[in-house]
């Protein structure tokens, strides 16, 4: 028995381009047919049919503007479908957490706002009084409940908003990205509450960009793409499908759209002396393979999102991209020539489509383009070439992008004595320096940077690196040992 | 995968729900009959008693021209078109007004202006507009109720289409009742916010009328030397009720557009917002009146009279009228922001078109009906008649007040129902 039944629903919005779409335009429109035509159609949803059964938790994912929020608003009857219809169980109470704390009035106290807000959601006086206590308990704002909420912090504001929404006792709960606004603690609480709803047999429609939240809550995932229902199925499949969509788009953006048609005819031996393979110390094949096997030994999973910092000419990418799920490989490189050589020569040789991965080209470790948290980051033979400030910047950027359980492996030449600044001759014959490339650094220096940004760093006992570099692992302090 | 096969017919389904129009023949016959009645009624309003006798022959002879002119204008304004646009009801009004103007000009040119009354023509246009709008509105509401009942039959009782739930008058009233807690909270919120933090609180809203009384008393007794006994009492009756109306109207323009965030994320009966602003102003008016009315009656030694008991009846009509206007203004502003500015101008013009600072009986006889036709006049005049003149309100006042209250309310509800599902997209 469905509780929500969307039947061939389409929704069209009219975008008014004429800024003065007011009386003047309407008036002129009486005389000039043309004056009216400054309206553009936008189909937010196209012929979507979706049945949601009682007690189901369904994740609605899709890119920005794919129609997720519009669908929620149609279920909540805030918008009316342009065609088709959305049916819901008669008398079902629908609570839409589309925005937290909307309708709050800053001058009113917390208590007054609770009563007003609950009334907006259609509760009668007796019902409001019945839930009032639990709202206050849940929000943890007993001491501030008689203070005008203009004096609340934004966190308190959200807590109160969520406390009201959580206590409305809805039959169908519509959640739109609301976890995104709070801190980790708030998100935990929200997910806990939502799980309790599920245990009580409520129905949940959950819009999110965060795969981890979707996995934590949902049993079914629908992917919307440009207003159409592109996927409807289990969580793993849905998230993979969505990743694929993202990968396609990222590839299109990064300029590697066209698959390279002619694999190089050059043999491996000759290629090993090619400029791009000789960069950063040679041993192209060995270092790439080493990096891949190293991660495999540390339980790399194909569902992980891997960030390859300093991916160079894609020595490791050729292995990782084949192994990982589509779109889960992220390569960052500062040297355009190297990256282009890798994309033009190495990927076709390995028979890999560039669209299976994402590539970011910059030398500032700018990672904002990555839409989700990284499970495993790796920087192989990168710190060797970087002055210490760049090393620090790299660590900070990557740590910020890590999932709470994520780890960051990096190789470097260790300087065992922090007070010694002399060049060191390595067993492989390479000489490393403290003030020019190839660099060596004391572990303590890196440790200090990590500590400063709330991360921990440990040495990894591994002596198999082809160039004789040491390995460290950096993780976010609070979540150590999760992986 | 449950991607539905390409269904072109769904995308091109009829655009939401434009009201279907009643059969054109029936409409013309009905409009014709109403046109004749309105023309007669307007002459009756204009010339009461014996003078009506002298005008009646002229009325009968000019009636065919007037009614034909009105019907012709309605045709031109496409009021009978088979696929009416959303501004259908607006076109009906335009047709009536245009037709009446054309007919009166035609008559003036051919017969001469002596035999006809221009204010009667204005009254005719107003009355016919209300009547034509009224029966069409009733028709649309009934059609909606039938469609809804039909939808329920098709869908069964388990699943409902909530977006079309609240589109009948009955459903709106029912949902307003179930949201009475919200209505109460909204009114209380506005009252609290207005007086919170100020030391004298509610006393401030008494100070303003008090100051007005003092100023007017000085002005009228020492400067203008108006001799009418208790003229300030007369004026305050009008000013207080006018303030209730004009404040409600001005505030209602923001009722929808200032709550955009709320409307876009929670579903509740949208009509609550404009109605809430009216009730807030009504509450204030009641508080003020309950202090000033007894005080002024004692001060000016106004004895009690039985007609005063009619005060609540007219007050009720004024509230219904104001709710209708508020619904119109609130939904209109959502589409045209200019309404706010337009209203400011209209309100100050209306203030002087309403007998507040002058007496209706001072107005030259031929303009009296015009003044009475201005929207707030019947209510203000009624208050003055029961409290100041201590007499029963005239039939014309009853008629106009009821017609305006019902007309504004029906028009407001209809307009609101027709556009309320588009608010969230407009804001």
Compare CB distances from A85 to B161, B182, B421 and report the shortest one's residue.
B161
**Interface pTM (ipTM) of the complex?**
0.77
* pLDDT of amino acid A366: 82
* pLDDT of amino acid B330: 94
The neighbour count for residue B377, using CB atoms within 10 Å, is 24
Compare CB distances from A88 to B3, B4, B162 and report the shortest one's residue.
B162
Q: B274 in helix, strand or coil?
A: helix
Q: Residue B393: inside a domain, yes or no?
A: yes
* pLDDT at position A400 over 50: yes
* pLDDT at position A256 over 50: no
Judging contacts by C-beta atoms under 8 Å, the chain B residues touching residue A233 are 1
What is the phi/psi pair of residue A112, to 5°? -65, -35
Question: What are A115-140's pLDDT values in tens digits?
Answer: 998 898 888 889 899 999 988 988 88
* pLDDT of amino acid B380: 94
Q: Residue B252: inside a domain, yes or no?
A: yes
Cα distance from B418 to chain A (closest Cα, Å)?
Answer: 12
Same domain, residue pair B63 and B191: no
Cβ atoms of A160 and A110 within 8 Å: the answer is yes
Low-confidence winner among A188-197, A267-276, A420-429 (lowest mean pLDDT): A267-276
For residue B244, the surrounding DSSP H or E stretch is: helix B231-257
Query: Which of B1, B18, B159, B427 to mutate: most A Cβ within 10 Å?
Result: B159
Which of the two residues, A38 and A361, has the higher pLDDT score? Answer: A361
Could you say which architecture CATH assigns to the domain A280-479? 3-Layer(aba) Sandwich (3.40)
Cα distance from A32 to chain B (closest Cα, Å)?
Answer: 17
Cβ atoms of B225 and B363 within 8 Å: the answer is no
- SS3 of chain A: the string is CEEEEEEEEEEEEEEECCCCCCHHHHHHHCCCHHHHCCEEEEEEEEEEEEEEECCCEEEEEECCCCCHHHHHHHHCCCCCCCEEEEEEECCCCEEEECCCCCCCCCCCEHHHHHHHHHHHCCCCHHHHHHHHHHHHHHHCCHHHCCCEHHHCCHHHHHHHHHHHHHCCCCCEEEEECHHHHCCHHHHHHHHHHHHHHHHCCCEEEEECCCHHHHHHHCCEEEEEECCEEEEEECHHHHHHHHHHHHHHHHHHHHCCCCCCCCCCCCCHHHHCCCHHHHHHHCCHHHHHHHHHHHHHHCCCCCCCCEEEECCCCCCCHHHHHHHCCCCCEEEEECCHHHHHHHHHHHHHHHCCCHHHEEEEECCCCCCCCCCCCEEEEEECCCHHHCCHHHHHHHHHHHHHHEEEEEEEEEEECECCCCCCCCCEECCCCCEEECCCCCECECHHHHHHHHHHCCEEEEEECCCCCCCCCEEEEEEEHHHCCCC
Task: Please judge whether A80 and B157 are an interchain contact, meaning their C-beta atoms are less than 8 angstroms apart.
Answer: no
Interchain CB contacts (distance < 8 Å): A and B: 143
d(CA A462, CA A459): 9
Same domain, residue pair B313 and B188: yes
Same domain, residue pair B46 and B142: yes
Domain closes at, from B102, B131, B158: B158
* pLDDT of amino acid A38: 59
pTM of the entire structure? 0.67
Cα distance from B197 to chain A (closest Cα, Å)?
Answer: 10
* pLDDT of amino acid A341: 79
Cβ atoms of A217 and A198 within 8 Å: the answer is yes
Candidate ranges A25-39, A366-380, B311-325; pick with highest mean pLDDT? B311-325
If you average pLDDT over every residue of chain A, what do you get? 81
If you average pLDDT over every residue of chain B, what do you get? 82
d(CA B133, CA B405): 13
The pLDDT-based confidence of A409 (bands split at 50, 70, 90) is very high
Judging contacts by C-beta atoms under 8 Å, the chain B residues touching residue A103 are 261-262, 266
* pLDDT at position A25 over 70: no
Which residue from B37, B42, B41, B138 is spatially nearest to B89, judged by alpha carbons? B138
Domain closes at, from B136, B158, B180: B158
Question: Residues 86-105, chain A: which have Cβ within 8 Å of B?
Answer: 86-90, 94, 96, 98-99, 102-103, 105
d(CA A430, CA A424): 8
Task: Please judge whether B181 and A123 are an interchain contact, meaning their C-beta atoms are less than 8 angstroms apart.
Answer: yes
* pLDDT at position A180 over 80: no
Task: Please judge whether B263 and A230 are an interchain contact, meaning their C-beta atoms are less than 8 angstroms apart.
Answer: no
Same domain, residue pair B344 and B196: yes
d(CA B252, CA B273): 8
Q: Residue B187: inside a domain, yes or no?
A: yes
Instruction: Please give the radius of gyration of chain B, using alpha carbons only, rounded to the nearest integer.
Output: 24
Task: Please judge whether A90 and B181 are an interchain contact, meaning their C-beta atoms are less than 8 angstroms apart.
Answer: no
Question: What are B395-417's pLDDT values in tens digits?
Answer: 888 888 998 998 899 888 888 88
Distances (CA, A) of A299 to A303, A403, A407: 11, 16, 12
Cβ atoms of B273 and B259 within 8 Å: the answer is yes
Question: What are B134-168's pLDDT values in tens digits?
Answer: 888 778 777 777 776 666 666 666 777 776 665 67
The pLDDT-based confidence of B320 (bands split at 50, 70, 90) is very high
Q: Which CATH class is domain A2-243?
A: alpha beta
Q: Residue B305: inside a domain, yes or no?
A: yes
* pLDDT of amino acid B351: 94
* pLDDT of amino acid B244: 95
- Domain span at residue B114 reads 24-158
Which residue from A150, A321, A343 is spatially nearest to A257, judged by alpha carbons? A343
Q: Is A84 on the interface with B (CB under 8 A)?
A: yes
Residue with tokens 């209730």: B244
Compare CB distances from B424 to A10, A22, A79 and report the shortest one's residue.
A79
Task: Please judge whether B10 and A83 are an interchain contact, meaning their C-beta atoms are less than 8 angstroms apart.
Answer: yes
Task: Please judge whether B157 and A73 are an interchain contact, meaning their C-beta atoms are less than 8 angstroms apart.
Answer: no
Q: Residue B295: inside a domain, yes or no?
A: yes
Distances (CA, A) of B386 to A411, B327, B379, B393: 95, 29, 11, 7
* pLDDT of amino acid B164: 66
CA B418 to chain centre: 17
Same domain, residue pair B204 and B146: no
Q: Residue range A395-419: average pLDDT?
A: 88
Judging contacts by C-beta atoms under 8 Å, the chain A residues touching residue B253 are none
Q: Residue B11: inside a domain, yes or no?
A: no
Same domain, residue pair B40 and B133: yes
Q: Which residues contact A80 (CB under 8 A, 6 or more apart)?
A: A74, B16, B163, B164, B421
Q: Is A175 on the interface with B (CB under 8 A)?
A: no
* pLDDT of amino acid B15: 37
Cβ atoms of A217 and A61 within 8 Å: the answer is no
Domains of chain A, by residue range, sit at: 2-243, 280-479
d(CA B135, CA A258): 66
Low-confidence winner among A146-150, A314-318, B14-18, B69-73 (lowest mean pLDDT): B14-18
Domain closes at, from B105, B130, B158: B158
Please spell the DSSP secondary structure of B22-88, one letter per residue. PPHHHHHHHHHHHHHHHHHHHHHHHS-THHHHHHHHHHHHHHHHHHHHHHHHHHHTTTT-SS--TTH
Q: Residue range A435-454: average pLDDT?
A: 88
Question: Residues 222-281, chain A: which have Cβ within 8 Å of B?
Answer: 228-233
Domain count, chain B: 2
The pLDDT-based confidence of A480 (bands split at 50, 70, 90) is very low
Q: Residue B13: inside a domain, yes or no?
A: no
Q: Residue B16: inside a domain, yes or no?
A: no
The pLDDT-based confidence of A257 (bands split at 50, 70, 90) is very low
Half-sphere exposure of A267 (CA within 13 A, CB side): 2
* pLDDT at position A426 over 80: yes
- CA-nearest residue of chain A to B272? A120
Residue with tokens 């035609």: B106
Q: B160 in helix, strand or coil?
A: strand
């Amino acid at each position: 028995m469905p509780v929500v039944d969307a039947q061939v629903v389409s929704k069209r919005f009219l975008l008014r381009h004429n800024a003065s779409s007011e009386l003047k335009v309407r008036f002129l429109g009486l005389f000039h047919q043309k004056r009216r035509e400054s309206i553009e159609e936008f189909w937010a949803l196209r012929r979507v049919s979706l049945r949601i059964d009682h007690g189901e938790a369904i994740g609605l994912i899709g890119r920005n503007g794919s129609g997720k929020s519009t669908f929620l608003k149609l279920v909540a009857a805030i918008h009316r479908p342009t065609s088709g219809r959305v049916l819901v169980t008669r008398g079902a109470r629908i609570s839409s957490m589309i925005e937290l704390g909307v309708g709050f009035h800053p001058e009113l106290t917390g208590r007054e706002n609770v009563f007003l807000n609950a009334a907006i959601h259609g509760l009668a006086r007796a019902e409001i009084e019945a839930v009032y206590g639990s709202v206050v308990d849940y929000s943890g704002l007993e001491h501030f409940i008689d203070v005008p909420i203009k004096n609340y912090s934004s966190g308190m504001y959200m807590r109160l908003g969520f406390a009201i929404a959580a206590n409305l006792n809805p039959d169908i709960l519509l959640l739109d990205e609301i976890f995104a606004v709070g801190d980790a603690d708030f998100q935990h609480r929200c997910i806990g509450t939502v799980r309790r709803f599920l245990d009580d047999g409520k129905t949940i429609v959950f819009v999110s960009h965060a795969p981890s939240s979707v996995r934590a809550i949902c049993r079914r995932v629908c992917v919307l793409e440009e207003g159409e229902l592109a996927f409807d199925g289990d969580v793993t499949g849905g998230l993979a499908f969505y990743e694929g969509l993202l990968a396609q788009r990222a590839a299109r953006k990064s300029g590697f759209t066209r698959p390279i048609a002619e694999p190089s005819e050059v043999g491996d031996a000759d290629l090993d002396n090619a400029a791009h393979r000789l960069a950063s110390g040679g041993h192209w094949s060995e270092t790439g393979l080493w990096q891949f096997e190293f991660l495999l030994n540390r339980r790399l999973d194909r569902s992980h999102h891997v960030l390859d910092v300093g991916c160079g000419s894609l020595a490791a990418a050729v292995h990782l991209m084949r192994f990982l799920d589509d779109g889960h490989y992220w390569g960052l490189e500062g040297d355009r020539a190297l990256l282009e050589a890798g994309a033009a020569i190495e990927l076709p040789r390995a028979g890999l489509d560039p669209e299976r991965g994402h590539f970011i080209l910059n030398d500032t470790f700018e990672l904002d383009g990555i839409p989700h948290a990284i499970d495993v980051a790796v920087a192989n033979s990168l710190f060797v070439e970087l002055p210490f400030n760049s090393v620090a910047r790299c660590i900070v950027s990557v740590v910020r992008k890590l999932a709470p359980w994520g780890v960051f492996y990096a190789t470097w030449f260790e300087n065992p004595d922090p007070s010694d600044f002399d060049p060191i001759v390595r067993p492989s014959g390479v000489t490393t320096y403290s003030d020019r490339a190839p660099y060596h650094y004391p572990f303590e220096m890196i440790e200090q940077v990590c500590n400063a940004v709330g991360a921990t760093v440990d040495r990894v006992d591994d002596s198999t690196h082809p160039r004789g570099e040491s390995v460290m692992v950096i993780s976010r302090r609070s979540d150590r040992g999760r992986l | 995968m449950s991607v539905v096969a390409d269904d072109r017919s769904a995308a091109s389904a009829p655009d939401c729900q434009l009201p279907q129009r009643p059969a054109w023949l029936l409409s013309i016959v009905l409009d014709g009959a109403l046109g004749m009645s309105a023309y007669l009624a307007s002459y009756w309003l204009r010339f009461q008693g014996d003078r009506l006798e002298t005008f009646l022959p002229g009325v009968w002879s000019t009636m065919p021209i007037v009614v034909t002119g009105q019907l012709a204008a309605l045709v031109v304004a496409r009021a009978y078109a088979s696929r009416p646009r959303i501004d259908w009801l607006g076109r009906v009004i335009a047709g009536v007004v245009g037709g009446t103007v054309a007919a009166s000009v035609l008559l003036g040119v051919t017969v001469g202006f002596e035999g006809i009354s221009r204010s009667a023509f204005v009254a005719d246009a107003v009355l016919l507009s209300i009547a034509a709008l009224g029966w069409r509105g009733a028709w649309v509401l009934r059609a909606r109720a039938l469609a809804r009942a039909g939808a329920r039959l098709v869908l069964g009782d388990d699943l409902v289409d909530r977006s079309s739930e609240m589109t009948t008058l009955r459903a709106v009233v029912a949902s307003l009742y179930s949201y009475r807690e919200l209505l109460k909270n909204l009114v209380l919120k506005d009252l609290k916010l207005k007086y919170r933090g100020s030391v004298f609180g509610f006393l401030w809203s008494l100070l303003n009328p008090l100051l007005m009384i003092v100023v007017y008393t000085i002005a009228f007794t020492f400067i203008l030397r108006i001799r009418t006994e208790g003229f300030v009492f007369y004026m305050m009756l009008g000013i207080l009720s006018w303030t209730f109306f004009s404040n409600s109207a001005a505030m209602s323009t923001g009722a929808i557009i200032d709550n955009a965030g709320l409307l876009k994320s929670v579903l509740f009966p949208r009509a609550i917002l404009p109605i809430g602003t009216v009730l807030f102003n009504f509450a204030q008016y009641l508080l003020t009146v309950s202090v000033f009315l007894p005080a002024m009656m004692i001060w000016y030694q106004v004895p009690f009279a039985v007609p005063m008991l009619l005060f609540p009846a007219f007050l009720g009509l004024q509230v219904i009228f104001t709710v209708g206007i508020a619904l119109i203004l609130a939904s209109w502003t959502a589409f045209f922001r200019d309404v706010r500015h337009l209203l400011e101008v209209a309100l100050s013009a209306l203030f002087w078109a309403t007998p507040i600072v002058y007496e209706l009986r001072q107005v030259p006889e031929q303009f009296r009906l015009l003044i009475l036709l201005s929207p707030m006049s019947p209510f203000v005049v009624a208050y003055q008649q029961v409290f100041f003149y201590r007499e029963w309100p005239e039939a014309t006042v009853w008629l106009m007040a009821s017609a305006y209250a019902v007309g504004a309310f029906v028009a407001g509800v209809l307009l609101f129902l027709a556009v309320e599902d588009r608010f969230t997209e407009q804001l």
